[in-house]
Structure 1
Amino acid sequence: MSDSPKRGAREKLIAAATELIRRNGYSATSVDSIVEAAGVSKGSFFYHFEGKEALTTACLENWDRMTTGMLADAPFMQLEDPVQRLQGCLEFFIMVFSDARQYPSCLVGTTVQEVADSSPTLREAARTCFSHAAGQIGGLIAGAAQARGRELDSMGLANLWMATLQGSLLMAKASGDPARIPANLRSQRDYILGLLG
């Protein structure tokens, strides 16, 4: 019972750091800004995490669990037709990034752009996130291709989808036009589905 507030503080720190890093980047997000946004003490921060890198690793692990779970539990996964399942997945991403309330950012992409060369720990956590997401999408592409009797490089196409998403997020930030994200994803969806005949 006594460790319940500690778990609450840890979750608050992860939520606050995730949001701040998505909006401001890793380098511009300080421990002070995280504890202020989380509404916890600095002592509580250091009780749970050795430093910002350890917290960010926990954020990436949480992001990975959240996103893979969200896809695995999505209604489109219950569809019997593998092509419809794939289409539902791709449409889901388009819907998420068509929502004006959705901040056009990905914790994984934002973090790894800054720290890929300086933090092997965070680079590996980001690689794991991308690998899991691409694996889920690649599995859907493979199932759809098999159902249609097509031989496709499922993982190559899944990685292309991920690259389109991440690149579109960067383009949206540079241009100030978040509508580029769903537009690019729609083009990539049409390409992938077109390969299925």
Structure 2
Amino acid sequence: MVWETLNIIGTIAFAISGAIVAIEEKYDILGVLVLGFVTAFGGGAVRNLLIGAPVSLLWDQGLLFALALITIFIVFFLKDMWIEYLKKVIIFDAMGLSAFAIQGAMIAYHNELPFWAVATAAVLTGSGGGIIRDVLAGRKPTIFREEIYALWALLAGLFIGLGFITHPYVYYLLFFMIVALRILSVRYNWTLPKHQNQLFQKEL
């Protein structure tokens, strides 16, 4: 039940996110569909390649493909005022990040992969689709922007990889915690330390 719920939440959230970016870039309906699907399923595909899961698993998700298709079409036909509103709502991207990070960590953990593989699967599943989306849209990937992003996916992987999940409902608590941290990092502009290259700054 946890697995299916996270799958549905992540797919819908990232399909919305991808469709909005495509509309912002003034893509046609085909471009919106491609970017929406890539964002929703790209992270899982990359994860499967790296942890040795069959790539064909991607095509055994008929319901999720249908949900993504319906979601993308709904976003595409929304009025401009609603598109502008959705662009300002960070919760969809935060929900997708959290749901897929936990899901990626779960599949690696239950396959008895090493701790670091669990953490990597969380990061790749949570942010992989967004990276592909931003690259195709010609944008700097969200994972490399100012506010903290991939760290929250890594945190989910650490919780699961270290065996802190003792009850299925704890997954939901972790989900809401990651969503809240992502939203707070954007709201208050939390950032990670950067190297202060004084020489480079002087040259500029």
TM-score tier after normalising by the smaller chain length: 0.3 to 0.5
Q: TM-score, normalised by structure 1?
A: 0.36
Q: TM-score, normalised by structure 2?
A: 0.35
Higher relative contact order by CA 8 Å / sep ≥ 6: 1 or 2? 2
Structure with the greater alpha carbon radius of gyration = 1
